[in-house]
Structure formats: C-alpha cells, structure tokens
Chains A and B, each alone.
Chain A
Amino acid sequence: MTAPTLPAEGVPPGVLPDVLVGRPSDAELSEQLLSTTWRPWTRGWKLAFAICGALTVNLFAMITLTVLRGIGVWGNNIPVAWGFGIINFVWWIGIGHAGTFISAILLLLEQRWRTSINRFTEGMTLFAVIQAAMFPLLHLGRPWFAYWLFPYPSVMGTWPQVRSALPWDAAAVTTYFLVSVMFWYLGLIPDLAALRDRAPARTRRILYGIFALGWRGSVQQWRHHKVAYLLLAGLATPLVVSVHSIVSLDFATTGLPGWHSTIFPPFFVAGAIFSGFAMVLTLMIPARRVFRLHNVITLRHFDAMAKLMLVMSWIATYAYVAELFVVWYSGDRYEAYQPLVNRPFGWYGWAFWVMVFCNCVVTQLFWSRRMRKNLTVLFAVALLVNLGMWLERFEIIVVSLSRDFLPSSWHIFVPTWVDLGILAGTLGFFGLLFLVFLRLVPFVPVSEMKQMRAEIVHDEVRP
C-alpha cells in the first residue's frame, strides 16, 4: 500500500495552511483514512500494545489489591482523605472535555477545522471518561455499595442525599459517558459502513457490517443522521459546562479553605478544556506522524489548538490571581492561608511552582506563530500542561486538605507505590484503549472529510 503523495510541510511564513492540504479525491481519502484499520502490524505497534497492555494488567492488579485490602493501601489519611484517586478522577474527566468541546461546540459554531480531528478527540473523551469513572467507584471504602449513590427504588425506602454533590457527580459522569458514547457511535456509523464495504477480510466485513446497523448512505438516512447528530451535539454542549461544574461542586460546596470558592465551576471548566487540548496534542502529534496524515491534520489545526490553549491558560492564570485577591479581600485567615502560605511555601511548595510554570508561564510561547507551528515545542508544552493540570488538582485536593483549620491535625500525604501504580496503570489503560481505537475504526471521519472537501471545492469554484 503506497502512501498518498504528501504535500510539503513548508508553508510560506505568514500564511496559514488550509485545513486540508491538496484536494484528494473521495477514493484517495477513503484509501488513506480507512486503511489505518488494516495496515500490517509493525514492531512499533506491537511494542506500544505490549507496554500499554502491561500497564493495564498492572492497573487491574492494583485495583484488585485495593478492593481486597482496603483503601489503606493508598497513601490517603486523615486529614488528606482524598488523594490520588480523586486527583486522577478530576484530571481524566477534565481531559475528556476537550473532545466534547471540539466535536459538539465547534460543530455548532461551524468551525471547519474541527472536522478532521473530532473523531479522534471524541475517542479520547470516551477513554478518558472510562478512566475517570473508575475512581469514584474505586476510592470508596466499600465500593460494592457504590450503587447507593444512584436513585434506585430501594426496598428500604432510602435515597441518595441530594444536598451532597456526590450523587449529582455520579449522575453527571454517567450522563456524560452515555452521551459521549452515543455521539461518537452515531458519527461513526457511515464510516463503519464504508469499512464494511472496503475492508480486505471477510470477518472484518461481517463485523463492521453488524456495527454499521444497515447504513446504506441513502439520502433519507443521511438526513436523519444529520438531524440526530446535530441534536446530540446540542445535548452534549451543555455537558461540557455542566459535568465539570458539578465535579467542581464536590469541592466548592464544602467549607474547606482552598475548596470553598464560588469561582470553581467556570475555573474547572476552563481548566478541563485546557488540559483536554493538551492531551489532544499529546496524542495527535505522534498519530499524525505515524499515519502520515499531514494533509488532513495540518498546521492550521495545531495553530488553532495552540491559540485555544493560550486562552485557557490565561483563564486559569486569571483564576489563580482572582483567588489571591478574593482571599485577601475576605479577611478570612483560614482561607488566606491556603494560597498565600500553604501552596507556595508549604510542604508541597515545589509542586505549586512547577504548576505555575506549566500552566501559566510556558504557554506564553504560543504568542509566537513560529512556536505554534513547531510541533516539537507543541508536544513538549502539551506534556507540561498535562503535568501542570494534574498538579493543579493535586494543589486543590491534597495541599488544601493537608493543612486546614486546626494545625493539630495537619499531616503530610505521601503516595504509596499503589497510588503511583494506579496512575501509571490508567495512563496505560487509556493508551491501550486508544491504540485499539486507532486500529479498529477510522479515527479521521472519512465521510465528513469528503463532505468538507466538497464544500471547500465548492467555495473555491464559487467564491
């Protein structure tokens, strides 16, 4: 299988490349984008699968240990009753947000550059939410009773306690997961049908045929599909705001200094999208290179995402500064202690400064167009932002808890190897799901690309 001719990376300075380089035919697009699912396994692929698979096995071993022995195998204590589990939960669910933001909000805003990356980011959303959803369950002292958080008709007549943020949390995450799955699957149907028609092996054709749900590409089907897709996008759009807002209420509704803050919902949403874009970049830059998709995922995409990250970075920075002002203005000594003393100069002062560097400082590189188009820089910054956003949740959760009202109960939190193993394990499990996704379905939506090409050509012909 010869790779299609690659357009040149080099674009004259000052000129943004298009969202589609060249004007490949429908057949060329189908060949290029569908073939990702049946290309032969290389040694690199096998290695990647092996690493992620090993980490996944490790994850489930750690989970087994946690469920068998108790949460005590983690580093949590009193006062730091929430640790890596909730950090990972908030981090992963935040990462998911970029996918929904790109697929739903940008769809409604008719942003053309979203087309080639939306499936990719939706997949990321889905797998990030799967990682995230494990933690609220896992971090329970008695996870086998997790269903008590849902309003089900109990014979004892007991219901969740709705003043607590946690039942809402459970509902929000469940909703988010279901809507994300539906949205993703709905968009996938035409491409599954294409795979049914083009896949080289008979088994594959049968399997893809089952999941294509009888898609024939008729006008009527397309019409229904478009309507349903738009409706789901409309449904998913508020979730971008609501899910992380509700997650933020886990903290904002308490009285704990460092948590007790009305700025949290928008701050969390912005942070989520920030970290999500970082993760998109982290995944997309290597995938684009491996699959040689330079023509469909262009520097134009990276430029747009870098700009968005810059914006989100400033929103985060604004929130940090606003918090300083608010706690100073409140005159509350307990509140003031957190951002003014504990975070920058406490036991975990280093983590705060690393976070500030990652989330506020390093992103300023993106003022420069050259940096926005330098994939090495983009990749490095994306990794740093991933780290920075993880540390931000660490600051909020662990650092705030470790020193609250009564100094007598202040205690440091030290993660155990199980904590670290689970964190590494979720990264591996996420990677494994993503690798499977890359090999199983076309991760650039073929039908949408064809449609976009047609629109572009149409615009070019009749400006």
Chain B
Amino acid sequence: MNDPHDHDDDRGDAYDGEREAVAAPRLDHGSHGSRGLPAVAALVRLARSPAAWQAGAPELAEAAGPASLDELSRRAFFRLAGAGAVAAGLAACSSRPAREILPYANQPPELVPGVPLHYATGLVEDGFATGVLVASHEGHPTKIEGNPDHPASLGATRAIEQAAVLALFDPERARTITDRGVPAAWAAIEAMLAAAAARRGLGLHLVLEPTSSPLVIELVQRVRAALPAAGLTFWSPFTPRAQLAGNRLAFGRPLQTQLELGAAEVIVTLDADLVGEHPMALAYARRISDRRRVVDGDSAMSRLYAIEAAYTPTGVIADHRLRVRGSQIEHVAAELCAQLIRQGVRVPPIAQPLAGRAAVAERAHWIKVIARDLVRAAGRSVVAVGERQPPAVHAIAAAINTALGNVGRTVGFSEPVVFEAGQPSHDGPGLGGLGGLGVLVRAIEHGDVTSLLVLAGNPAYTAPADLGLAGAIARVATSLYLGLYDNETARACRFVVPALHDLEQWGVARAYDGTITPLQPVIEPLFSGSSVTDVLHRLLGDLPASAHDRMAAAWRRLMPEVPLDAALALGAVGGSALPLVAVDVAWDALTPVIAGAGTGEPPTLELAIRPHPFVHDGRYANNPWLLELPEPTTKLTWDNAAQLSPRTAARLAIDDGDVVALIVADQAAGGAVDRTIEVPAIIVPGHADGAITLHAGFGRDGGERIARGIGANAFALWTTAAGLHPPVTVVARGTRHALAVTQVTMRDDGRPLALSGTLSELGGDTLRAELARHRGPQPSLYAAFPAQGPQWAMSIDLTTCTGCTACVMACAAENNTPVVGKRQVLNGRVMHWLRIDRYVGPSGASGASGPSGPSGDDADEPSARVQPMTCQHCELAPCEYVCPVEATTHSPDGLNEMTYNRCVGTRFCSNNCPYKVRRFNWFDLKEHGGLRIAARNPDVTVRDRGVMEKCTYCVQRIRRAEIDARIADRRIRPDEVRTACQQACPAQAIAFGSLTDPVSAVVLHRRRPHSYAVLHDQGTVPRTQYLARIRNRNGALR
C-alpha cells in the first residue's frame, strides 16, 4: 500500500455512507477517517513541550506537571487534558478572518446540506453564450446542466460545458499577477495603463475576443472615445467570418444567418456541421431531431442531405451523405444553383444564364435529386453552409434560400450578435488580406505599438503562423495578457493577469440568436482573477465598486425594462433575440460571383483545419476530461491526427498511425517557405478523397502541463494567404505513433447490433418482422426476477443520436469516473461508463432486404451508425450469477447494482458481460487531493482500487426522486428521474422511466415497431432497448 490510509479505507468502507451522512459531504474522500490521529499526536506533543506552552499560555505550563504521560496522576491528567483543549482552541484562533463571517447555525432557508442548488448562468465561446444551470453543493459547483429556458441550450449541453466545472477547478490556472514571471502588483500595470491613456492611446493596441457583451461593448466604445489613437482587434480563429462576408455579397451588408430548423422539411448542408460545430449546435440538433422522431412507417420525417468532407455528426444523422472535399463544395453549390434554375426556381433575368452550368458527371444525379426535393419543399427547406466555405458559397446559399422562398420561414437574417462582426476589426485570414492581427504585426514592426493589451484568447498560439505574432508581441515594450493559463501568449507578454473563469464572474453575453444571457458567479474567485471589464475600467481610470454593482448599473442603463434578479434567476431574457431583418438579394453583384464560383483548379491534396469538437481552438486543452473523451468520428483520445479516406491513404501508402509530414507552401512568402508539421495519420472511412482534415487545438507549447506536448499544432500550417483549403503535400516519415483510440474495430462483422432501415421499409413487413426477432419474450430456465415498485428502463433512439459524445462527458461528470491517461487508454482501460459505439461499413443485419441500408453501404460510401452503449441492466444479467461474492445483484426496481465494498475484483462479471460495459479499477485511479476533487459529485461514491464499476442508471438520482416522492407522499412522476446522459443529450435521443408507468416515454418508445434489444438472442433481457436507426431515404437515390 502506498498510503497507510488506504487499508483503513478498505476496511472501513462499510461505514463510509453512514459517516458521510453524519458529517455532511466533504471535499476529501480519499483519506477521511484517520485525520484525527495526527491532531491528537500534535496535541500531545504540544502538551509535552513546555516551550510551546510558555509561548502560548505561560500560566498553563506551570499547571502541566510531569512531562511523561506515564507519570501522570488522575488529577494531573485532567488538568493536562483541559489545558490541551484550551491550547488547541487558542491555536485555532490564529488566523481569524478580517471580515465578519456568519455561523452556519442559522442556515439560509434555501440551503439544505446535501441537496444541491442550481444557479442559471452562461458559458461563452467566441462571444456566443450557452445558458447553463450549475449544481452547487454547499457552495461549490459540481455539475453543469443545460438551461431549458435558454435558446442556445434548450436544456442540453455539449461535452465542453459538462467539463467546464473541471476547468474551473484546474490547479494549473494562473494564480497571481506576474511581471515576466515574477509576482507583481496592479500598481506596475496601472502605471503602464496610465501612460498609454496619457498619450490618448497612441501606441496602445488592444486584442479582445469577439464579444457580444453589452458591458464590454459599452466599455470598448468609451475606450475608443477616450483614447482615439488606440488600435483594436478582435481575434478568435474560428469566429464566423465567411458567413457574414457571404451575406454581405448577397445582401450588401454583413448579416448573420439564423436557421429555424423546426420548420424545415428538407435540409441540405454544405460542409456545415449544424449539430456538432455550429454555435447553435445544441438547439439545431434539437430542432432537427424533433422532426425526425419516428413512431412508425407513417411518421412525418424531415430529410437531411449532408454534403461534406469530414464525417461529422451531421453526416451521421443524415439520410443521404455525399463525400465532397472542401474545395469542391463551391462547385456543388454553383451546380445546385444552376439545377434549381433549370427546374424552374424563379430568379431575375440577369441570373438566368447561371442555369447553363452542368454538374460534374458523378454527382449530376445527386444534384438533380436534391434540387427536386428542395423545389418540392420550397418554403420549408434549408440550404446551410459551414464556416470553412468561402463567402461565395454562403452567398449562393443565401440566394438559393431566397429564391426558394425559405427566407422568413426556415431561414432568417439578423444583424451580427458579435460587436463589429464582419468589420475590419474582426478580419481573419482565408478571406484575403492580412486580417486584424496582420495589421497589428505590421504596426509592431514599424514600432508603432508600445503597449499591447491581450485581453483573452491565446493569439500567440492561434494566429496564422506566418504572422510570427509571438515574436512580435515580445518586441512590444510593455504587453499585458489577461488569461486563464500560463499559455503561449502569457509567455510572450510581460504582465500576466489571471482571468476569471466564466463561472466566477458577473457579466452579460448574447446567444447566437441574440438572446441576452446574464452571467453570475457560482463561486467566489478561486484565485485573484480579473475580468475583461476590470481591465478596461482600469484603463479608463475608473474602477467603481464591485463587479456586481457595475453589472447592475449597466443593466439598469441598458435594459431598464427587465429586472436583473428575474433575468438572473431564469438565465435568459425572453424575447431578446435579435429581430430578423428584411433582405433583398443583390443579384446584380451576386451573379458574377456565382458564375465565377469554383472555377479554379483543385489541388491534388488539400488540407482543412477544423476546431476540435472538445478542445476547440486549444482553449480547453488543459482539461483531462476533454482530452480523454473519444473524438466522435475517430474515437481518438489524447491526440489529434490527420484524417484521410481509405482510398487516399492507399494512394499515399499510409496506414493508421504512420507519422506523416504535412507540408503547406506559405503563399504569403511567395510559396518559397514550406510550413511543416508531423502528425500521425488516421484512416476515416467516409472521409472525402483527396483531402486531409486536421483538428486544431493540439501541439500546445505553453505552461499548461496536461495540454503541453500532446498532438501537433494545426495552426502552424495556417497562413494568412493560404485560403480555407490549402494544397498540402504528405510525406510519410517512416515512424509510427500509437493512437489511443477507444474503439479499435469499426466494422460490425455483419452482426445485428446497431440496426437500421428506411422509413419506407418500416412501413413494410420485411423490416418489421426482422426487428420483431430482436425483441419480445425469450425462453429461459431461470425464473423472472421478482419485480417490485417502479421498473426502470431506458430507450435510445439511434435515428436522432448524432454521436456527439456529450452524454459520455455528462456521465463522467455525474459519476466521478476517473481519467486514466493515454497509456491506459491504449491498453483498453478507459473508465467511461458510457461509450458510443460506431460502426462503419456494411450494416449488421441479415439479408439484403433486411434493415441494412439499401445503398451507400460499400467501403467507399460507408454509412456510419452510432450506438450509445452502457450497462443494459439485463433482467437476467450474466454478470450477476458469476460473481462469487454477490457484489453485483439485482434490485427489486430492476437495476443491476454494484456493491463496491463487497467486490473482491475477480472480473468474472466483465468476462461474462456480452456488452463489455463494466470497468475495472486497475490501479488506485482516484485523485487523492488537489483542487480537482472539488468537482466531484458528493452523491456518488469514489471507487477504490481493485473493484468493478459500471453504469448505475444514475441510481443516486433515482433514490433522490424516491426520497422526494416519499416526503411529499406521492408517486414518482413519469419522467421525473432523468439520467445524466439523458439530460445532456441535445437530440433528446435518450428516454428513461419506469415500465410500470403507462405514459412514460420509455414505454411509448417500446411500443414502436423499431424498438429492439441488442443481443436479444442471448436471453439477457436488457432493460435498455434501442430504436433502430431509420433513414428517410429518397427513392430516387437508390
């Protein structure tokens, strides 16, 4: 045992629950029980040491008597004991808080120890807020849920929001103000700010993240007024730019596209990951899914065509998916436009000649079919374009949507939510020109910048490589960085000011649709952090009162009609979404753009840099939860890799894990300089040929110990002149890199696991009969288990599940599952209780007429099926009868339970689990201290070394609901218990409830013809069933 406490823990396990209940939840689960002993020992030492006595309380020293405990008389003993108590009390008084603190005797009415409170606030990324509810246990946040009243969340979260609670408690966050690494005070910085202000901003430059906060905007405008000479750049690598530029082409001004997907019958995405990457992804996933909930073969279901290069979650749920590499999507858009005109969509005469453009032969049929579907559903269709497409494509889509009459129904346009979005201060590379940072670097080179304030983001890392921003920053006389971490930018700047985490500050931000989202701190700042507004106020020379007062004052000024308290309680201001504006397509200007779209020669091999779904642009890269979360498409953890299609890999003679050099010629340097990174390759069936997708956010080089050195830096290939899909050369290095994927085999070997079929097949008998074979009673020699009370069950809809992996993160956050690290992932020891199985290639059901997809299932055009897989809570559970010590048993309400204290760790249960959902504590995996354990859920036991664990159906939530129901003397309401995975799911693909409740969603799901059990023929009678993946295929595309 590495720690003597361990053994005590093991023996005392049986009493832990009781002890916690009495002592209220504590942060430290690792070593309770034996903490008292050192204190006693210290007291005895204190009592024995006359020196300490004389220093503390001389009169007591005299009374102490003999020094050895053996010599003590009874009287002397009591004297000593009493003296000890007094001495200990005195010692405890040494650090009395300076301000009055309140005893807990009069507990606030809203606070019950052990019962979490939820506070509404928001998390902001690239200026767009997502409303969340933060569960707080006795003052420390432990879990983040989506805010159902917030339009960008609708109650769901991404993995990133789920993991924010761990980011808050990241011990590696910047803690103190430093001046070139040496602790410093505000005074030095204020001198710098005052000097800049004295010159009316001459030589001063500010770099901010794109912001939608009225508070920040107001301050920025004041700075502009007070310091007119100051430069201002907004920078974030993946802020929407092309969309605004495209709408400017179409409508003459930069507008933000707002989709109303709930009304859309036909959706065509052009390299647009609406449900994965979009700032409104959660809401869009919900809206799309709401139109795709299949009850039977007659259900109305929208149709989704995904035309994309990488295999995104949107591609996963699509009915038809066409692999087209990024640079060719422009052609597709122009061809689609031409086809629509040919099919009679009305355009002004000037645009008529556009109809002459013919589609590339291999996709001509596709384009024709899609166009026909769009015309059929005119006014109820959407053409959506992703951010990696040039403005022309966005403009074409805007024109198509207008011509189809979609605008005002499924598509709208609003003013940009982000301050000055689409203006030069936001310019980035890829759209021509240097962008805002380029201007800054030029100015630095000319010596025009003497003071630089970088007030968020990490531009030294995310800026295009050819700018050499980090080096330029280092040349500025005084620079200041406000950030959460000692990252690349912090290391380039002179002063570093620790920033506040979103969960620590007062503020306001807007959602993508403009909804005003008030932010409130759910915890006192852990470190001495500052916010952007703090710094701007100091720059302006005023720092009034507290952040809350400032916010309240600003709120009264900006939104006098909305009471702040009500808005804070709700987490969103209803009806504050930006109004849609009327638009007219500027066909005169647009027609030549469309005519010229996609006429260039495509490169042999092109590169697309995308934000990573979990670490985004690298800002979340120091979060071990997110690094260990399997990337939805590749299941890769702790790395990024060059994704390429099997055919391209074969052409380049590259295999999974081969290290390749990606070489991009730097156009800004006249193509003379090659920018190279080395990265392992990973083969993704379904990826477009001739293209490589690389996720950004890795290859970090700052002071963050977890993020540092993982993966390769995609931004090193990103240059100002390169465009969105630069040509890339791939050279195999001849070395190998171990890729820590959580799923090694993606083919399902023809097994009927993730069943699928089409909507029309569901109306017929063949598929229904096939599916019926996968459910219903099974003969068994065993007696049915004695059911009593509610019977918990789950149903997962594979039609709407996008595989986004938010549920996996939510499960880990709720259930305290440990992080194991890359080596252990490589060894098949990832601890997630829930995983998302992904199968590509021929579908696993018998017969060509069975539920296998009728088309598009060959090796080059695979159809990916995702299947969340967790403990199935089998009624006749194979794990239970093989356990020699009855550590896993069945509860009367149908849960397959683990008694951790009883488990001896034979792992027999895992061997006999056909779903392989059990996880074993191979080592002592739990953290034994540090800040991160504050993020643990106090309602869930932290498991010890050597015991088995697995999904519990969030039994702690079930028991909580039972207790609430019993107190209120009522039955548990249908759908009252929501599991963590269910709650996080943006598509609401997971239903949970009791089978005894006739109106619960899970019962309704089970009545559907496509409900089935995985491995039904094994007779395990799983309580989790699935709704087969149903696609609304267009018959013309068979």
| CB-CB nearest in chain B for A257 | B914
Quick one: CB contact mask for A389-432 with B, threshold 8 Å, 1 for yes?
A: 00000000000010111111111111000000000000000000
Residues of A within 8 A of B884 (CB): 148-149, 160-161, 164, 166-167, 170
Residues of A within 8 A of B10 (CB): 142, 144
Q: Is the CB of B946 within 8 A of A70?
A: yes
The segment from A78-86, A202-210, A356-364 that touches chain B is A78-86
In the complex, whether B527 has a CB less than 8 A from a CB of chain A is no
Q: Is the CB of A404 within 8 A of B749?
A: no
Q: Is the CB of B915 within 8 A of A406?
A: yes
Residues of A within 8 A of B1 (CB): 68
Residues of A within 8 A of B941 (CB): none
Q: Is the CB of B923 within 8 A of A69?
A: yes
Q: Is the CB of A405 within 8 A of B827?
A: no
| CB-CB nearest in chain B for A142 | B946
**Among the listed A79, A167, A401, A407, which residue makes an inter-chain contact with B749, where contact means beta carbons less than 8 Å apart?**
A407
Which size bracket describes the interface of B in this complex? 35 or more
Q: Is the CB of B837 within 8 A of A408?
A: yes
Within 8 A of A (CB), among B976-1030: 1014-1015, 1018
| CB-CB nearest in chain B for A410 | B745
Residues of A within 8 A of B749 (CB): 337, 407
Residues of B within 8 A of A82 (CB): 907, 911
In the complex, whether A21 has a CB less than 8 A from a CB of chain B is no
Within 8 A of A (CB), among B838-884: 838-839, 867, 869, 878, 881-884
Q: Is the CB of B744 within 8 A of A166?
A: no
Quick one: CB contact mask for B927-962 with A, threshold 8 Å, 1 for yes?
A: 000000000000000001111100000000000000
**Among the listed B869, B882, B1014, which residue makes an inter-chain contact with A165, where contact means beta carbons less than 8 Å apart?**
B882
Residues of B within 8 A of A158 (CB): 885-886, 902
In the complex, A407→B916 CA distance in Å? 10
Q: Is the CB of A77 within 8 A of B829?
A: yes
If A71-B922, A141-B920 touch, whether A160 touches B745 (CB-CB below 8 Å) is no
In the complex, whether A322 has a CB less than 8 A from a CB of chain B is no
Q: Is the CB of A141 within 8 A of B905?
A: yes
In the complex, whether B912 has a CB less than 8 A from a CB of chain A is yes
In the complex, A378→B906 CA distance in Å? 38
Within 8 A of B (CB), among A304-345: 333-334, 337
Q: Is the CB of B829 within 8 A of A78?
A: yes
CB distance from B450 to the nearest CB of A (A): 55
In the complex, whether B414 has a CB less than 8 A from a CB of chain A is no
CB distance from B847 to the nearest CB of A (A): 14
**Among the listed A142, A165, A409, which residue makes an inter-chain contact with B916, where contact means beta carbons less than 8 Å apart?**
A409
Q: Is the CB of A78 within 8 A of B885?
A: no
In the complex, whether B248 has a CB less than 8 A from a CB of chain A is no
In the complex, whether A178 has a CB less than 8 A from a CB of chain B is no
Q: Is the CB of A401 within 8 A of B923?
A: no
Say whether chain B's binding surface is mostly helix, strand, loop, or mixed.
Answer: loop
**Among the listed B744, B910, B1018, which residue makes an inter-chain contact with A81, where contact means beta carbons less than 8 Å apart?**
B910
Q: Is the CB of A254 within 8 A of B827?
A: no
Q: Is the CB of B885 within 8 A of A412?
A: no
How many residues of A are counted as interface, with CB atoms below 8 angstroms from the partner's CB atoms? 55
Q: Is the CB of B921 within 8 A of A79?
A: no
If A70-B945, A81-B920, A255-B914 touch, whether A407 touches B1015 (CB-CB below 8 Å) is no
In the complex, A34→B707 CA distance in Å? 70
In the complex, whether A10 has a CB less than 8 A from a CB of chain B is no
Q: Is the CB of B904 within 8 A of A146?
A: yes
| CB-CB nearest in chain A for B921 | A141
Q: Is the CB of B824 within 8 A of A254?
A: no
Residues of B within 8 A of A153 (CB): none
In the complex, whether B828 has a CB less than 8 A from a CB of chain A is yes
Within 8 A of B (CB), among A211-249: none
Residues of B within 8 A of A140 (CB): 904-906, 946
In the complex, A166→B753 CA distance in Å? 31
Quick one: CB contact mask for A133-145 with B, threshold 8 Å, 1 for yes?
A: 0000001111111
In the complex, whether B701 has a CB less than 8 A from a CB of chain A is no
In the complex, A377→B573 CA distance in Å? 88
**Among the listed B827, B869, B914, B921, which residue makes an inter-chain contact with A75, where contact means beta carbons less than 8 Å apart?**
B827
**Among the listed A69, A146, A164, which residue makes an inter-chain contact with B883, where contact means beta carbons less than 8 Å apart?**
A164
Within 8 A of B (CB), among A64-104: 68-72, 75-82
In the complex, whether A37 has a CB less than 8 A from a CB of chain B is no
CB distance from A410 to the nearest CB of B (A): 5
Q: Is the CB of B885 within 8 A of A406?
A: no
In the complex, whether A256 has a CB less than 8 A from a CB of chain B is yes
CB distance from B572 to the nearest CB of A (A): 38
Q: Is the CB of B747 within 8 A of A407?
A: yes
In the complex, whether B595 has a CB less than 8 A from a CB of chain A is no
Quick one: CB contact mask for B170-182 with A, threshold 8 Å, 1 for yes?
A: 0000000000000
Residues of A within 8 A of B924 (CB): 70
If A144-B10, A405-B751 touch, whether A164 touches B882 (CB-CB below 8 Å) is yes
In the complex, A72→B745 CA distance in Å? 23
In the complex, whether B278 has a CB less than 8 A from a CB of chain A is no
In the complex, whether A253 has a CB less than 8 A from a CB of chain B is yes
In the complex, whether B303 has a CB less than 8 A from a CB of chain A is no
Q: Is the CB of A149 within 8 A of B904?
A: yes
Residues of B within 8 A of A146 (CB): 904
CB distance from A134 to the nearest CB of B (A): 15
Quick one: CB contact mask for A160-181 with B, threshold 8 Å, 1 for yes?
A: 1101111100100000000000
CB distance from B676 to the nearest CB of A (A): 33
In the complex, A166→B907 CA distance in Å? 11
Q: Is the CB of B1018 within 8 A of A405?
A: yes
Residues of A within 8 A of B882 (CB): 163-166, 253-254
Cβ-closest 9 pairs across A and B: A141-B905, A141-B946, A72-B922, A77-B828, A166-B884, A408-B837, A81-B907, A409-B916, A411-B828
6 other A-B residue contacts (CB within 8 Å) besides A255-B912, A337-B749, A410-B744: A71-B905, A141-B945, A142-B903, A158-B902, A160-B886, A411-B744
- Pairs A–B under 8 Å by Cβ, sample size 13: A70-B921, A77-B827, A143-B904, A146-B904, A166-B906, A253-B881, A255-B1018, A259-B911, A405-B1018, A406-B914, A406-B1015, A408-B835, A408-B867
Show the binding face of A for B, using Cβ within 8 Å. 68-72, 75-82, 139-146, 148-149, 156, 158, 160-161, 163-167, 170, 250, 253-256, 259, 333-334, 337, 401, 403-414
